[in-house]
Amino acid sequence: MIKKSEIKKKINLILELQNYGIEKPDILKVMEEVDRQIFVEESLRKKAYDNIALPIDCGQTISQPLVVALMTQFLDLKKNMRVLEIGTGSGYQTFILSKLARFIYTIERHKFLYINAYNLFKKLMVTNIFCKHDDGGLGWKDQAPFDRIIVTASAPDIPSKLIEQLSINGKMIIPIGDQHNDQVLKKISKNGETLSITDLGSVRFVPLLEGKENK
């Protein structure tokens, strides 16, 4: 059972999200309903409703709720959409997406995180999330094209294979930059053979690495 103090923190978090420009009722509703505590380590659960990033295994992080909400809002999701997520991590962003779109295909390069997320989704009885342990930069070719692509790690350049797997009129949200310099969140819209790129603001993410870890 959620404690009264935790309920208050969750309410304050939703108000904070609204103050920062999260305005879509469906996103606010999902952010309020999803229990972030189940995606973080037990020792950090008292901080689950703070608007901060928290460490998880394999040197990765669970993004702060504001970043999750902003990236989700920028995706402009519809219920019938198929979404590719690069970087499953804790599964928090994935689970949020699963409440707002038809199918979520998520790739994680760390085997440990992939297994944890897969088991958690199974425990939560989620039926519209499909997980894969692989190099995220390669995408998921045999399930393409995707209406939306979200990348939760920063790439030095826009990955060409992900662009190829984006549907006509599709959108991708991705941080671009390296871990030592400024990173910019970008929205890439695909209109036929033409791409339009919009800068959405400065961010800070772990780097998007090649290959996959089998530990």
Catalytic positions: 63
Q: Which amino acid is at 86?
A: I
User: For the residues of 22-86, what is the DSSP string, one character each?
Assistant: ---HHHHHHHHHS-GGGGS-GGGGGGTTSSS-EE-GGG-EEPPHHHHHHHHHHHT--TT-EEEEE
Both tokens assigned to 192: 């036929």
Residue 103's contacts (CB-CB under 8 Å, 6 or more residues apart) are 82, 83, 128, 129, 130
DSSP lists the bridge partners of residue 132 as: 107
Are 148 and 165 in contact by the 8 Å Cβ rule? The answer is no
